[in-house]
Every structure is written in C-alpha cells, then in structure tokens.
Amino acid sequence: MFPEAELPEAEPAVPPARVVLIDDEAMVRLAMEQALQLAGLAVEAYASAEAALPAITRDFSGIVVSDVRLPGRDGLALLAEIRRRDPELPVVLVTGHGDIAMAVAAMREGAYHFIEKPFVNEAFVEVVRRALEKRALVTENRRLRHALDRGDAPGGAVERCLVGQSPAMRRLRDDVASLASAAADVLVLGETGAGKEQVARALHEGGRRRDKPFVAINCGAIPESMFESEIFGHEAGAFTGAGKRRIGKVEHASGGTLFLDEVESMPLALQVKLLRVLQERRVERLGSNASVPVDLRVVAATKEDLDALSEAGRFRRDLFFRLNVVTLTLPPLRERREDIPLLFERFLVQAAVKYQRPVVEVPPSLRRSLMLADWPGNVRELKNAAERAVLGFLSPDLAGGPEAAPGLDALLDRVERLVIEDALKASGQRIAEAARALGLPRKTLSDRMRRLGLSAGD
C-alpha cells in the first residue's frame, strides 16, 4: 500500500451500478430480486440493514431499496445513516403497513420514493430505473468535478463542456482534447442550437489559454453599421458619436480565444479586414493608422457550407481557406439520441436552481417522447423543454399532444416487433438463442412476444 501522502492522483473508481435490496422476509426479498433481475438490473440482496451497510460506501454507484420494518436497524434509521454517508444516494423505501405518517417522515428525511405493498412489478422497476438514472447523473458529475479539482486538466474541462456518451460525442471529445492546447484556429460545423459555442469553450478551457478572456461574437446579431467598430474598435472622433476610444472584441480577446459564431453572416466588406487580422495577428482600430499586435486563437462556427457559399460569391474564398485549418463537426441531437436523457436531466437540475423550483420527475411517457422527437432546435430546444418542465408548462407528451408525437406507444411496439422478428429469423426461430442475441432473459422475451402477439413460428 502507498502511504496516504504518496497516493497518486486518479479519478475515483466507479463500480458498476447495482441495487442493494434489503428485506427480512425471504420470499418477498426473492420476488423483488427476481423482478429487478428480469428487468436486466444487477441486485445484491440482504436480510438486514447491518448486513447491507458495508456495501454502501461513498463511491457506491447504485441505489438502495429497503423495507421499512426490519429487525434491528429499521428503514428510517438506515435512511438516516445513508444520508449521513452520502446525501445524494437515492433510497427507495417499501412498506406493507400503509403507514402514511411514516411515508411522510421518510420523504422529509430525504427518501427518493416510498412504495406500498402490494405493488405492480412494472411500477416498482420503473421507480428503481429512475433512481438509478439519477444516481448515474450524480456519479458522473462527481467524476467531472474530480477531474477539474486536479488542476482543471484539459480532459476535465472538455468533458464538462461536451456532455454525452454516444460514440459521436466521445470522438468529438477526443478531437477537442487533442486540439485544446494547440495554436491552430478551428472551424466548427453544426446545426442551429447544436452546441457550437460549447465546443469553442471546451477548446478554450481545456487549453493553456483558459485563464485568459473567452470573447464570443454572434456575427448575425450585430448591425452592419456597427460591425467594424464592435469587432475592431475605434479611436475617439473616428465617426459621429465616437467620443472616446473603444477597444474592439478582437483586441479584448488577446491572450485568449475569439469565438465567431454565425461567421457566414459577416459582411463581405469586413471579411477582408478579418482575414488580415488572422494572417498578421494585428488589428487596426477604426480611425487609426497604427496596428496593435494581438495573440489569440480564433474559433469560427457556422451552420452553412462555407465552401458552397464561397463558390456562390457570398463568402470570401480566401477567408474560408484561412478559417478551415482544422474542422470539427458537431452532430445534431437526433443523431445521438442516447445522449438525450442525460442532457435533459442536467438541464432539469440547472433549471431547478435557476428558478428555485424542485427537480421534476421524468415519467415514462415523457422519456419516450424525448427519445422519439426530432429536436430541430437541437440541444437549445431540449434545454428550453427542461425549463418548461420545471416551471410546470410541459406536459408528458412534450406539450404537443398527438400532433407532436403521434402514436408513440404504437410506434415503439412496431419497432420492438421488427427487432424481435429479425432476431427470431436469424436464430432459426429458436427463442433461447434469440434471447441471447438480444441480451434478454428468455422469460422476458417470451413475455414481450406474447404481448405483441408473436410466436416462434411467425
């Protein structure tokens, strides 16, 4: 063992998420354990709180499901101990006694949920899944904070800015991390609302310039008459109303990063001046004959095809070539749907803090709607939806009713039916083999086949 002072800095190990299940009645404990295992969840079952507590450490990445009436330390005492060890660990309490006063006390003490026996297995499993999702969010946030606490390492800043576990986002994070400390200018391509500024911030905060200014300019939001003064600055008396010298955005960003969003909107007449700044790293204020040296990295972003715009004469080709040193492409949200639940949960937490409201639960119907929606406004639209949910203005079907997401359950059933049919066909209609290929217990596959009206001979 290392002495404590010599332990190497490393991210905390994150064990696989699992459910610690506690119930002193063997048959009840077995039934709950099987219900969770059939849903594909890892379970560790115990007959008492004392037996389970050694498994519940601060780096425990799962949740606890416990009966309230236990020998020795009961469920409420267990909840208090878990809250002492880790206030963010979800605890689901179960009782068969219908004790409303106890339920209220448990919720006040911080229980995640309270379930009364007898319960429907599907509802029980859904509560456990939601609790595990919440725990996963807490675990990831802790990991990112730990990375930042180790000196704000580039990887930590990049992961904090670019959230998601889809293959596309993992590749993007790798590319950004490798570029963060380089001096090269970068062109970011992506649809409106996809998060192009977050890519720019990741490049800035993950590199050596992170302690210097990050200056963002939306080229499409500045009136053309003010553009030159805003970007390049002006001297006193340079034009009517210019009563004193103004430092432009380019000069202000010296030492740090200049982010040019919607760069395709920059007036053609000013693109020549920007090109000179990029080539010479010097800026000349409006009304001045002297140039000022600037040390900056330029990250430009666009939703348009600049190559096509330059061919059409709507964007300077030489500026396009100068910006296009390294290109990063940010995928739209519809191409990384597996990132939607995590992003939505984060936005819910941010919105709850912003508006001082409690974090709302995400019901299954809303989760399905989130995953199936096209999100033309991308991450920005998803964030707005989370804010509406916290404020109470978002219905479980994304506030759009059938028009926004027609026949969600029927659509999901059709997709599931096609997947199962393909697996059965590939296995020669052998259910056990199809279940293995799908990663499901045989009983779960058989139940789903019955619900969908399928048989192995279809």
- Tens digits of per-residue pLDDT, 312-336? 999 999 999 999 889 999 999 999 9
377 pLDDT band, cuts 50/70/90, is very high
Domains 16-146 and 161-327 share a fold: yes
Task: Return the half-sphere exposure (C-beta side, CA atoms, 13 A cut-off) of residue 377.
Answer: 6
The segment with the largest mean pLDDT, out of 109-113, 142-146, 205-209, is 205-209
Distance of alpha carbon 97 from alpha carbon 125, whole angstroms? 20
- The stretch 127-132 carries a mean pLDDT of 89
Q: Is the pLDDT of residue 11 over 70?
A: no
152 pLDDT band, cuts 50/70/90, is very low
CATH architecture of 161-327: 3-Layer(aba) Sandwich (3.40)
Which of 54-68, 138-152, 180-194, 317-331 has the least mean pLDDT? 138-152
pLDDT at 403: 38
H/E stretch holding 229 = helix 224-232
CATH code for the part of the protein at 16-146: 3.40.50.2300
Q: Is the pLDDT of residue 71 over 80?
A: yes
Asked if 253 contacts 291 with a C-beta cutoff of 8 angstroms, the reply is: no
Asked if 259 contacts 214 with a C-beta cutoff of 8 angstroms, the reply is: yes
pLDDT at 83: 87
pLDDT at 145: 56
Asked if 384 contacts 417 with a C-beta cutoff of 8 angstroms, the reply is: no
Which of 250-254, 323-327, 404-408 has the least mean pLDDT? 404-408
Q: Which of 185, 195, 5, 21 is nearest to 94 (CA)?
A: 21
H/E stretch holding 106 = helix 100-108
Q: Is the pLDDT of residue 159 over 90?
A: no
Q: Is the pLDDT of residue 262 over 90?
A: yes
Q: Is the pLDDT of residue 102 over 80?
A: no
Asked if 420 contacts 454 with a C-beta cutoff of 8 angstroms, the reply is: yes
CATH architecture of 406-450: Orthogonal Bundle (1.10)
pLDDT at 97: 63
Q: Which of 307, 221, 322 is nearest to 272 (CA)?
A: 322
pLDDT at 404: 38
Q: How many CB atoms lie within 10 A of CB 315?
A: 23
Which is more confidently placed, 84 or 65? 65
Which is more confidently placed, 359 or 252? 252
| Residue 444 Cα distances to 18, 36, 136, 345, 437, angstroms | 20, 12, 25, 28, 13
pLDDT at 1: 32
Which is more confidently placed, 370 or 195? 195
3-state secondary structure of 396: coil
194 pLDDT band, cuts 50/70/90, is very high
332-397: which CATH topology? Helicase, Ruva Protein; domain 3 (1.10.8)
Domain coordinates of the chain in residue numbers? 16-146, 161-327, 332-397, 406-450
47 pLDDT band, cuts 50/70/90, is very high
31 contact partners, CB below 8 Å, separation of at least 6: none
Distance of alpha carbon 79 from alpha carbon 59, whole angstroms? 17
pLDDT at 376: 92
- The stretch 13-35 carries a mean pLDDT of 83
Q: Is 10 exposed, middle or buried (0-12, 13-18, 19+ CB in 10 A)?
A: exposed
User: What would the two tokens of residue 88 be?
Assistant: 């963010």
| Residue 86 Cα distances to 7, 80, 363, 414, angstroms | 23, 10, 25, 42
Q: Is the pLDDT of residue 436 over 90?
A: no
Question: Amino acid identity, residue 11?
Answer: E
- The stretch 52-59 carries a mean pLDDT of 84
Q: Is 6 exposed, middle or buried (0-12, 13-18, 19+ CB in 10 A)?
A: exposed
Q: Which of 299, 310, 228 is nearest to 264 (CA)?
A: 310
74 pLDDT band, cuts 50/70/90, is confident
Please provide residue 456's backbone torsions phi and psi, each rounded to the nearest 5 degrees: -65, -20
